[in-house]
């Protein structure tokens, strides 16, 4: 094609986080809190009451569990119009987790960035010298 009317341009439409914790449970909580801190920041003191939601996901390993967990929270956040701030793990295993997530109405927050999904791109969940580390890239 000698006469193209388009051009390919490079575009990076993602953002990543690296979180560290002493145990996997703390790692999953830290990753979720980091994700929501990218999405929004509180406007002021919360006036509305907290809402509790049950979240459960399964996967074949920690990597899949982390991606499924974050994506389930994103989906629930969009449907319920909540920003999640706290997570109480009821069941935590290497293939399943059940959590009570606490969220507040999005009207209490300034939305900064829309995250579409947690991805498997360069995903890492590993134990290094007694600490757990995760790296996650989000599609924005």
Average pLDDT score over the chain: 90
pLDDT > 80? residue 5: no
Q: Which two tokens stand for residue 74?
A: 């994103």
pLDDT digits 0-9 by tens, 31-50: 999 999 999 999 987 678 89
Q: How far apart are the first and last CA of the chain?
A: 33
- pLDDT band of 140, cuts 50, 70, 90: confident
Give 119's strand partners.
none
Give 59's strand partners.
none
Q: 8 vs 81, which has greater pLDDT?
A: 81
How long a stretch of residues is the chain? 140
% residues pLDDT > 90 (the chain): 76
Contact of 105 with 132, CB cutoff 8 Å: no
pTM of the model: 0.89
Domains annotated for the chain, with CATH where assigned, are 15-139 (3.55.10.10)
At residue 45, the pLDDT reads 73
pLDDT digits 0-9 by tens, 64-102: 999 999 999 999 999 999 999 999 999 999 899 999 999
Place of tokens 């995903």: 123
CA angle 14–76–121, rounded 5-degree value: 25
């Amino acid at each position: 094609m000698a006469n193209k009317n388009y051009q390919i341009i490079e575009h990076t439409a993602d953002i990543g986080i690296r979180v560290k914790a002493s145990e996997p449970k703390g790692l999953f909580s830290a990753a979720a809190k980091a994700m929501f801190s990218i999405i929004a920041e509180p406007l002021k003191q919360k006036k509305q009451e907290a809402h509790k939601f049950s979240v459960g996901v399964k996967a074949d390993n920690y990597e899949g569990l982390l991606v499924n967990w974050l994506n389930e929270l994103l989906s629930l956040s969009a449907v319920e119009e909540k920003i999640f701030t706290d997570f109480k793990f009821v069941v935590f295993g290497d293939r399943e987790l059940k959590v009570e997530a606490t969220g507040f109405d999005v009207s209490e927050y300034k939305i900064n960035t829309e995250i579409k999904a947690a991805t498997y791109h360069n995903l890492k969940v590993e134990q290094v010298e007694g600490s757990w580390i995760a790296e996650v890239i989000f599609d924005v």
